[in-house]
């Protein structure tokens, strides 16, 4: 990662990410507003957003879910709103950690990192977000986190 990527690199990478993410999410009914794509149904609101890191050297791809129609008396606290990063949909902890902060210079051009992130978004995150728009979608966790929860003693 370079010490301070030029603004042109950041802008170019963010434009590429916008195009690719929009191509994945628009057919699923997501509407773009700035760096955030959202979809609202009767049961949930889900979103994907690009967040710039505080250092300006990288970005994060965040995903979130807010359940809308719930009986608040029987829903455990903290289950109706959830947020994740794209790495939470990876297979291993090492892969998860490598996908936390996405460096702009590693996402530029014909990048294998960008291809991996877009594959995770289209093949794992999007089906998960679609399934969140069901009456009991609030109970779901991304597959890797669900496996970690089950492995706990």
pLDDT digits over 10-54, tens only? 999 999 999 999 999 999 999 999 999 999 998 888 999 999 999
Residue 72 lies in a domain: no
- Number of structural domains (the chain) is 1
The sign of the torsion formed by the CA atoms of 73, 142, 146, 104 equals: negative
Asked if residue 104 is part of any domain, the answer here is yes
Tell me, yes or no, whether 142 lies in a domain: yes
Report if residue 117 sits inside a domain: yes
- Cα 144 from Cα 93, distance rounded (Å): 9
The residue segments making up the domain with residue 132 are 7-67+80-151
Instruction: Specify if 74 maps to a domain.
Output: no
In a domain, 15, yes or no: yes
Is 75 contained in some domain? no
36-40, 41-45, 116-120, 121-125: segment of lowest average pLDDT: 41-45
């Amino acid at each position: 990662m370079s010490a301070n990527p030029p603004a042109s690199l950041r802008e170019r990478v963010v434009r590429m990410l916008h195009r690719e993410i929009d191509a994945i999410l628009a057919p699923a009914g997501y509407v773009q507003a700035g760096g955030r794509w959202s979809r609202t149904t009767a049961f949930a609101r889900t979103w994907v957003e690009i967040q710039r890191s505080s250092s300006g050297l990288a970005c994060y791809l965040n995903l979130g879910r807010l359940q809308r129609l719930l009986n608040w008396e029987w829903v455990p606290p903290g289950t109706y709103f959830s947020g994740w990063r794209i790495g939470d949909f990876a297979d291993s902890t090492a892969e998860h950690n490598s996908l936390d902060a996405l460096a702009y210079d590693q996402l530029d051009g014909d990048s294998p990192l960008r291809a991996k992130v877009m594959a995770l978004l289209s093949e794992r995150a999007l089906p998960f977000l679609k399934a969140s728009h069901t009456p009991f979608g609030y109970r779901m966790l991304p597959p890797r986190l669900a496996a970690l929860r089950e492995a706990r003693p």
